[in-house]
């Protein structure tokens, strides 16, 4: 059963030069034992320490740490099929789309892969080159904002190349025009990415099992929430609404007071949230792990709503 469960799939979009490849390189170097498969457009840009490389073929680089780097091409669906059906499927799949890819269109093709039951869509990340933004014309500015609006995590990268006033202007533009995106400032795509992956992988395969908390790193904050008894549905919905505005991701079990026999798995990625029935027995009332950007989360308001639950 375990091997059949879908693998979490994350996507990275952004204009050419935004820093996507840097992010991928960083990720591969810091996978910490997680087996991540990355689909990239351009092999040439991937900069992997030769000592780490195990095998290289025309369209695949396998690393000694278990990660794999593939080229993104027409065989994407087939490759995902092969990867996810192998004996030890990867912990996560990451798709780095080319600079011109519209995340909305990408979302459509990723939905097809998801429809095949191979993967489950996880966070979508959008990268912006802080230096480039100011030079964009009207059409590209609108395109960038449309893209940012459909992604959960927006990285404003290369902040070291612009002055404070310019950076504030970018942040203000995003706050008004992409109000639901979680924005993080980075210099060289230096985001401690791991918590996002940890949470993505959580419960994805086999029996859902939640670690006590994820490693938040310097950009994120993470916390757990537990209620000993079944919770009123409307209170939980209030909490979910608040979390969807403040947190990037939340996952866990919940038992509603009006349906104590039907425990649910709550899974929130950005604004999308699902409540699925779980087969195994769950005791208590509610147990959640949530993750958000330090800059976005207001621990006090969350704590207040949690107390009410």
Partner 1 sequence: MSTTIFHNGSILTMEDGDAPEAVAIDGGYICAVGALGDVRAVCPDAVEVDLKGRALLPGFIDAHSHPLWAAKTRGAPVVDIRAETVPTYAAIVARIKRRVAAAAPGEHLIFFGLDPTLHPDMENPTRAFLDTLAPDNPIGIQTSNCHALFLNSAGFAACGIDETTPTPTGSIVERDETGRPTGRIAEAITWTALETFYEAWGEDRLAEEFQAQIAAFLRNGITTVTEHLYMPFYKASYRAALRQGLPMPRMAAYQQATAPDMAVEKIADPDDRFWMAGVKIHADGSVFIGNIWVTEPYLDTRITRERMNLKPGHVGGPNYPQAFFETMLRQYFAQGWQMTVHTQGDRTIDMVLDVLEQILAETPRDDHRFRLEHCALMRADQIERARRLGVLCSFFINHITHWGAPIEDALFGPDRAAHYMPVGSAVAAGMRVSLHADTPMTDASALELVQVATARLTKTGRCIGPTERIDVETALRSVTIDAAYQIRMEDRLGSIRPGKRADLVILEDNPLTAAPDRLRDIPVVATYLDGMLVHGG
d(CA 73, CA 126): 21
Residue 300 as a binder of partner 1 (CB under 8 A): the answer is no
**Using CA atoms, how far apart are residues 213 and 179, in angstroms rounded to an integer?**
28
Whether the Cβ atoms of residue 225 and residue 212 lie closer than 8 Å to each other:
no
5, 46, 48, 273: which one binds partner 1 (CB under 8 A): 273
Binding mask 26-55 for partner 1 (x = CB under 8 A): ------------------------------
Distances (CA, A) of 280 to 26, 46, 190, 265, 277: 37, 42, 39, 11, 9
Reduced 3-state DSSP string for 160-189? HHCCHHHHHHHHHHHHHHCCCCEEEECCCC
Query: Cβ of residue 97: shortest distance to partner 1, in angstroms?
Result: 19
Is there binding between residue 112 and partner 1 (CB under 8 A)?
Answer: yes
In the numeric block, which tokens belong to residue 282?
């769950």
Residue 224 interacting with partner 1 (CB under 8 A): no
Among the listed residues 100, 180, 234, 304, the single contact to partner 1 using CB under 8 A: 180
Q: According to CB under 8 A, which residues from 142 to 161 bind partner 1? A: 142, 145-146, 149
| Pick 46 or 173: Cβ nearer partner 1 | 173
Cβ atoms of 123 and 110 within 8 Å: the answer is no
137 is a contact residue toward partner 1 (CB under 8 A): yes
Residues that bind partner 1 (CB under 8 A): 111-112, 114-115, 117, 137-138, 141-142, 145-146, 149, 173, 176-180, 273-275
């Amino acid at each position: 059963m375990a091997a059949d469960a879908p693998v979490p799939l994350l996507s990275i979009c952004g204009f050419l030069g935004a820093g996507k490849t840097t992010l991928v390189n960083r990720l591969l170097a810091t996978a910490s034992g997680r087996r991540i498969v990355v689909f990239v457009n351009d092999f040439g840009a991937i900069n992997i320490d030769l000592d780490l490389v195990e095998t290289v073929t025309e369209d695949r680089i396998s690393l000694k740490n278990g990660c794999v780097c593939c080229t993104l091409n027409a065989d994407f669906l087939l490759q995902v099929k092969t990867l996810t059906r192998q004996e030890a499927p990867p912990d996560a799949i990451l798709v780095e789309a080319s600079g011109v890819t519209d995340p909305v269109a990408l979302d459509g093709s990723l939905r097809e892969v998801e429809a095949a039951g191979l993967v489950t869509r996880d966070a979508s990340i959008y990268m912006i080159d802080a230096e480039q933004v100011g030079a964009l014309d009207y059409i590209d500015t609108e395109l960038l904002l449309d893209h940012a609006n459909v992604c959960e995590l927006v990285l404003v990268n290369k902040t070291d190349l612009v002055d404070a006033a310019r950076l504030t202007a970018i942040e203000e533009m995003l706050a008004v025009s992409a109000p639901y995106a979680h924005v993080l400032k980075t210099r060289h795509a230096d985001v401690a990415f791991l918590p996002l992956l940890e949470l993505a992988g959580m419960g994805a395969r086999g029996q859902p099992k939640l670690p006590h908390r994820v490693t938040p790193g310097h950009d994120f904050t993470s916390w757990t929430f537990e209620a000993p008894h079944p919770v009123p549905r409307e209170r939980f919905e209030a909490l979910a609404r608040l979390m969807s505005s403040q947190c990037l991701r939340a996952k866990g079990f919940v038992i509603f007071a009006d349906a104590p026999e039907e425990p649910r798995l709550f899974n929130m990625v950005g604004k999308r949230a699902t409540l699925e029935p779980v087969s195994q027995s769950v005791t208590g009332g509610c147990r959640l792990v949530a993750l958000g950007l330090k800059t976005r989360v207001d621990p006090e308001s969350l704590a207040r709503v949690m107390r009410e639950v």
